[in-house]
Amino acid sequence: MPLLNALETARKAGLDLVEVAPTAVPPVCRVTDYGKYRYEQTKKEKIARKSQKPSELREIRLRPKIGEHDIEFKVRSIRKFLLDGDKVRVTVMFRGREISHADLGWKLLQRVIQTLGEVAVLEKQAVMEGRRMFIILAPGATQKSKPKEMQDAKTKDS
């Protein structure tokens, strides 16, 4: 309907002509109360914001001389954080003369990346800041489907 006819219809009804979809061709408008329309839009936005879980940046600290079992324990913690949807910063801290063996820290971080390859994506490569070397891991694309596949496998075995 032409714009003038739509405005006249809205004026007769005592309502407003609200443009709902300006990018559509032709633009889509609705005859409604503008205040009510804005209220509904803000209400929808609040609900959408509530349903989103903010991604947190968790940190796990390691040392170059860490034991085998301790690495496995930390990797399990990292895996749990990633499956919860959080990003993880894995930091290797050097003390004293350990800084001269930065390659040990780099190898340790590479081992963590390799172990978590199926649930994590490397977001930031190994970076040295002072006496700390760190990487940032983000949840992988397949993270949401993994637990369900594992559950399906468990039910098939039973």
Domains of the chain plus CATH, in order, are: 3-51 (3.10.20.80), 57-143 (3.30.110.10)
pTM, two decimals, is: 0.58
pLDDT at 141: 66
| Torsion sign across C-alpha atoms 148, 152, 153, 158 | positive
How big is the chain by its Cα radius of gyration, in Å?
27
* DSSP-derived secondary structure letter, 67: -
Average pLDDT over residues 4-29: 88
| Percent of the chain topping pLDDT 70 | 89
Residue 138's CB is within 10 A of a number of other CB atoms, namely: 18
Contact assessment for residue 32 and residue 16, using Cβ atoms and an 8 Å cutoff: yes
